[in-house]
Structure 1
């Protein structure tokens, strides 16, 4: 069965833009032309690709699966255009960043903005796992997050390392200690993060290896909200040390048994490395990382 490039372009633009009129504007065609191409494409499938609503469209599960495939055509077109016209890139360049650690990566993002003001940045904050999923599904161009394992088909640049710490309310008795133990923390009222967060994964692993079974009566999703709860004496929270902005109402203490650092990475799909925006962001991240490293150290790029 022959699928036309016009159908694929119309479908991709509609998914990205969220409605037919913006997709038509993006491609420089009429809205009826977009809907006609979408109709032709949908007729090739047993089930709908898009759900229609009064304010736009949302891809169905089948539509999302198709977009993971068809979005590669956008990469192919961009790579061909760059090869044919290396000094001229037509249209607006946008870069979608999925960020799990905003405080760690915001200086890099600001530096990129200063060097490439013409690039439109779309920044979304998510958990580390969600950031990885977004890159793999081409919902984001680059993930900025901790990685325990390298996703298949992706490259990563080790950018920053920091360890997990306990977040204590100022004046808490444990603040007199230079570091705290899991045994000490097990006696306290604890505030846990959502179960799918890397922070909670590291905490759970630590308590499990220490044969401890902590009990938490407070679960929260946002590290800033956890810090606010800690400051009001609701319990002791946890975070990676450079994810927390210093303030007088809380204090951070290393956890004796959790001394290993977690590495924050810049992660992207290998076959998208040369695309405008992605290529420039990676190069800038590489330059920053090289400047921060002692001369004898090597970068972890794989």
Structure 2
């Protein structure tokens, strides 16, 4: 083997360190000693011109070079798991951890809780982010499952439709618009509005609808968190926006559908097609299909 060729132990060690976040947990994952992990990582890094990892607090973070390497070696890790599942089916199907990224935690929390109940010994690593960020970490194999409204085509991904909901305005209870069954964006001209960050799907859709309506709605209040937007509305700072299922049902603000947002947004369970046979993906997708089947059955009772 040429000196520049990576060995299987080096790849396994590197992937374990990335997934575990430090050398100690990586050693536990691999059932080896921590010095063995350190030795493999030193050997691996000696092949590259720069570091693959950098220390952050008590953990480790991939450098740009490390991220590029992991995008390649993660595919080996998936192949390794699939082969092990064929060799020893009982062992290969055992789950230890599942990594999930979601842009809609309130929508998907019942499904996540159902998974945790079905697999109580599986560690749950939940990452909340915007739709675009969830798509990115899923494509980079940094998570196993994505839970977000996938409103575009990506041939690398498979998806299951989970729930539909619509864009609504969050209105202070004492506001004249609070009692309406629906409102038009034209009725919001001159109102104090609360916008979310521009790269959130909620704000992207709202901006698109405003542009199509030929309006110029602006806001001097920008808030990232949906929970904080609801709190700001409850304190009469203005009118906010969200998808219906993304905010808690409370009595401190009114929820009014937006007429221009006639088409419902579909939330999806998303995964990489090439990872469909991995236990963590297969088990979550199977459970989702079971839950969806139960939901459809209840509609016909």
Paired residue for 2:142? 139
CA distance in 2, matches of 1:53, 1:60: 11
Are 2:217 and 1:214 aligned? Answer: yes
Are 2:163 and 1:160 aligned? Answer: yes
CA distance in 2, matches of 1:25, 1:46: 29
**TM-score (norm: length of structure 1):** 0.92
RMSD: 1.9
CA distance in 2, matches of 1:136, 1:99: 14
**Structure 2: runs of 5+ lacking an equivalent:** none
Displacement over 4 Å in runs of 4+: none
Are 2:47 and 1:49 aligned? Answer: no
Paired residue for 1:253? 256
Paired residue for 1:276? 279
Match runs of 1:196-215 below 5 Å:
196-215=199-218
CA distance in 1, matches of 2:95, 2:297: 38
**Structure 1: runs of 5+ lacking an equivalent:** 296-302
The verdict on how the C-alpha distance between 1:35 and 1:87 changes in structure 2, with shifts beyond 3 A counting, is closer
**TM-score (norm: length of structure 2):** 0.93
Q: How far is the alpha carbon of 1:224 from its aligned partner? A: 0.6
Are 2:173 and 1:170 aligned? Answer: yes
The verdict on how the C-alpha distance between 1:53 and 1:253 changes in structure 2, with shifts beyond 3 A counting, is closer
Paired residue for 1:299? none
Paired residue for 1:185? 188
Q: How far is the alpha carbon of 1:82 from its aligned partner? A: 1.4
CA distance in 1, matches of 2:157, 2:42: 34
Paired residue for 1:149? 152
8 Å CA contact 1:194, 1:220 repeated in 2: yes
Aligned residues: 296
CA distance in 2, matches of 1:109, 1:245: 17
Match runs of 1:52-131 below 5 Å:
52=55, 55-89=58-92, 93-131=96-134
